Structure formats: C-alpha cells, structure tokens
Structure 1
C-alpha cells in the first residue's frame, strides 16, 4: 500500500510551510518524522495506559480522526488529550486554551517546543496529531497515516466493552486500499487545491477531488457505510473532510463545484455519522471556521469570520436507516 507521506516530487521550491510546494505549483505534504509503530515487536512502542498524551487542534482533520477513534474505542482514560488553539500562530500550535497558556501536563506553550526537545535537529513543521511519551517527554509518533490503526490494534486490550471493530482483519485489505485513495484524492485533495500556487495544479486537484466525490456519492447509494453495514476506519477518514467541507474548504480552498449538502447520499451519510457518538461531539464547527478563515490558510487581513453556513442542519434527520 502506498504511504500517505510519500514525497511525489523531489524538486521543491521555497515555501512558508517547510518547502511543500513543487516547481509546478503543486502542494506536496511533508513527510512524517516520528513513525515508530505501536506494538509488541522489537523497537516498537509498548501500548500502555497512562503513558501517552495525544496533542491535537480541533481544526485539524488528521488529528480529529485520531480523537474520534479514541472516543469510539473508549481510550479516553488510557491516552490523555492536549488541545491547542485552532488558529496556528507564527510560533506554531499554541496551548492558549489552557490556564496560563501552557499544556497542563507537558508545560509547553507552543508545540514546536516538544519537537525540539525530542529532536533539536528537526526543521519541519511541528504537526498534530503528535503522541508524546510523558515518561520521556519525547514525541514518539506523529504518523497520522497509521495512528488510528495503532489505536485499533495495539491498544485493543484497553478498548471498552462493546467497542466497534473499526479495522476488522477480514476487511483490512479493502480498508487500506480505500484509505489510500481517500487520502490522495479527498483528504489531502482539498489541500492540493487550496494550497496550489498555479492554475494548472489547482484545476487538476479540483477535478480529481470532485470526480472521487461523485464516485463516493454513487457508492453510498447502495450501502450505509463505505465498507457495508458497519463503521470502519475508512468512514472516520472520510467524515473529517466532509465535516470541514462546507464551512471551510468550499470557500477558503475554492473547492466550489458543489457543497456536501448538494450530494444527497454523501450529505445523509455525513449527518448519520455526525449524530453517532464520537463524531459530532468531537466536531467543533466554530473552531474549524476560525482555524481556516483566520489562520494562515486564508488571506484575511481584516480577520473577518464568515457568519455562515448554518450548522444546525447537521442535526436534522437522515435517511441512512433505509439500509438496515
């Protein structure tokens, strides 16, 4: 399976976000730095309760999916959670929401501080999600590509009774293949459009994105969830993009052919997930709007926050029960 953090083009020009723009103006996301897996094998990170802290920001889709899985599996008391402000500052993600403006467990104000403690030579962006080993004060994993899978497998002894199997062995091949498509064409596809520095790169990303959304719309016409009648890791990954689409990507990233509410199946599917515990209660639309519209994602010199869209419609009834 192709890795989400693969660099597709090594000819990079200077860019404010760690040189992530290629010479043809396309956005090319940086590699993940800390990718040691969780498990019981040699050199792997042991899954232990109380040892790790998950750092996130509510704006971030990569971090949000880890938080959703943490909620669905009942790992809240096993892996602690640190929350940064949704608006990334020039100094990086800031823990300004906490008393004193520092993370209460790690005592850091900005996320790059813990990255620097871990690796003083690290020169990339300090990203969320980041898993910190609180016993060593080091970032041990920021691999959003596999993090939810580790929660689903390595941390299985800590799952709550009745927790859903989000990564069933019988479906893993299909989940992995779909997740790879979702990343390149949808999850990161919106960023490829939004961060493009050329018309050609933007339109290519735009066309690929909506071609895939059209296919997903058709796929969801015959099944409740992406892989059938149960929620899987793939649904979590698609949901976080759908939740941000109309309130942020449509306008800020110019992915404006359709809104998600314009796709009957995708929209009802998104509402179905939003109304499922673990999804909607970890989705903060206000934080998402602030992060994308007031942060460095948008040119907004007067810091004007869009009034719409109306997010109360996420609580309206959906039609997905027809598949039961």
Structure 2
C-alpha cells in the first residue's frame, strides 16, 4: 500500500502507520473559483463528486483536475505528462499547484499528513489546503454550501432513509466488490462474492416498480448505487472475477443504470476507457496489464470513440 508519511512518499510501505485521516473542514463562504476538485473518472468514489459538480451546475465555483486512471507507477496517481509518462485522453495537468503527482498536492498542503493518498479531494485554493478527501463529505458540501438552481439530493424528509441506504450500498455492494475481488483465499472470495450478489438481489427487488430507490427523482443514494453498478459488467465481472451473474441478469438494476445514463449531465461523466484502464492496466496483482476489448454491454450504449487507446 503506497502511503505519504510527513511529505515522504513510501511506495513500498506494507501498511499505513495510522488510520487514514480525513480532512473534514467546513466551508464558511462559497466563493466563485475558490475551490478545486482533484478526481479520477475511473474511481467510483471520485465519480460521485464529478456527478454532483455537473448536476448542481457548480463549474464556476469549483474547477477540476483529472488524474490519469493508470495508477501503476511507484508515485501513484499522476497528472498529464508527468515525468514524460504517457497520459490517457482527458487526463489534465494539475491546474492549481502544477504538481506531477497527487501525493505532492497532499504533501505541499499538509506536510505533517500521514496516510493514503486518495481521490476525490476538495481543495481550497485561497488557503492552499485540503478541505476533504471523503467522497460522502464532499458531495454533501457540493449539495449544501453552493448556490444552485438544482434541487437538493439530500432532502430533509428522506435523510434517514438515504443514510440507511447509503450504508447498505457501501457495506453490501461498494466495499464488498473489493473484498471479494482482492481476496487472497478461495473461501474468502466465495463468502464475499455470495454476500455481494445477495445484496444486489435485494436492491433489485427494492427497485421493482420504481424508477429510483426512494422517490420519483434521483437522490444521493441513487448516485452511490449508480457509481458502483455502472462499473459492474464493464470491469468487476472480469477484472475482479465477480462473474457469478452479470448486471444484465438483474432486470431492475440494469434498467436503473440505463435510466440514469439518460441524464445528460451524468452521461458526460461516464468514461469507460478510464475505468477499464484503471482496473486492467494498474492492478498487476490480479491482471497482466492487458486492457480487454470487451465487455461492451448493449445497455451501456458504449461509443467506440470512448474506447480509443490512450493518447
């Protein structure tokens, strides 16, 4: 596990010396172009923040840098043209600090930080500090503290239900995907995989006769679920060996993904090649860095241009 230890990058560290700390600063004033997002289209947690920025129309308030999905170097997440490394289409430079690698952003802003270097990151350009690196916290900030004509995705009347569903999706699906996919022993893989597909079946049943999880419009829990499901047939079934069933086998889950991809602001955030590059080109422990041509599920309506090779 690669970690940052008080400004020193330790790519071969086997464990984090203390629990990954989250920056949970509060925003007192929403100022135009004061804040910045560091994200990757590949990461399902960062994807949530990207979607919120689009749905809430916050482009004038929050700028954004896109990291390369191929996290296969000793330096971890990197920006466009860092140290002459080839970069994937739509990867950008660090528009704020000019860093080559994300760990340098953490180190420059918080020299005493010890822990993992993750996305998404919400950065305060005025104070030159990280406000948060927790996706659940960031999307609440984007939903609450910035002016927007879009409706809140965390309405008061549904907050308890949303919190409960978020917990179920995180523990039963999002986290379970990785527990199963990175399992070192057969019995663990089978247990986590079984638990995962049980949870998928329960959510599929919940969506019976519904367009979304709780109401007739998209809410926070729907974004949590979507960011996991849209990657399922694309990479999880093959890269993480979660092939007991495909998402297409769950009628309601498949329809749910298709329905959300029809929202233009969300469709533009879905980058299949970034997702496939991340899972097939960087996770050498379970894959030989070969990016497959498929799968190309019909319901995702993948455009061949989206699957262009890295440029």
* TM-score normalised according to structure 2 size: 0.84
RMSD of Structure 2 on Structure 1 (CA)? 2.4
Query: Which residue of the other structure, out of 15, 19, 39, is the alignment partner of 1:19?
Result: 15
- Paired position in structure 2 for 1:82: 65
CA 1:196 to 1:187, structure 2 compared with 1: closer, same or farther past 3 Å?
Answer: same
CA distance in 2, matches of 1:17, 1:222: 49
Q: Runs of 5+ in structure 1 lacking a partner? A: 1-14, 21-29, 41-45, 317-324
Q: C-alpha deviations, 1:162-208, integer Å up to 9, x for none?
A: x1321111111100111011111111111111122233332222122
Could you say which residue in structure 1 is the equivalent of 2:76?
A: 92
Give the equivalent residue in structure 2 for 1:252. 239
Please, what TM-score do these two structures have when normalized by structure 1?
Answer: 0.81
Q: Which residue of 2 aligns with 1:308?
A: 294
Cα pair distance change 1:164/1:18, threshold 3 Å:
farther
Unaligned runs of 5+ in 2: 1-10, 85-91, 303-311
1:67 aligned onto 2:50: yes
Change (3 A) 1:57 1:273: same
How far did residue 104 of structure 1 move? 2.8
d(CA) in 2 for partners of 1:297 and 1:144? 26
Seen in structure 2, the aligned counterparts of structure 1 residues 214 and 96 have a Cα distance that, compared at 3 Å, is same
Does the aligned pair in 1 maintain the 2:239–2:287 contact within 8 Å?
Answer: no
Deviations 1:65-88 (A, max 9, x none): 111011001111111111000111
For structure 1, which segment, 101-110 or 49-58, has the greater mean C-alpha deviation from structure 2 after superposition? 101-110
- 2:204 paired with 1:209: no
**Distance change (3 Å), C-alpha of 1:65 and 1:98:** farther
The yes-or-no answer on 1:239 pairing with 2:226 is: yes
- How far 1:138 sits from its partner (Å)? 2.0
In 2, Cα distance between equivalents of 1:143 and 1:112: 16
**What count of residue pairs does the alignment treat as equivalent?**
283
Distance (Å, rounded) in 1 between the aligned partners of 2:168 and 2:21: 19
Q: Give SS of 1:145's match.
A: helix
2:20/2:116 contact within 8 Å kept: no
Residue pair 2:24, 2:131 contacting (<8 A) in 1 also: yes
Cα distance in 2 between the residues matched to 1:79 and 1:214: 37
Distance change >3 Å, CA 129–CA 17, structure 1 → 2: farther
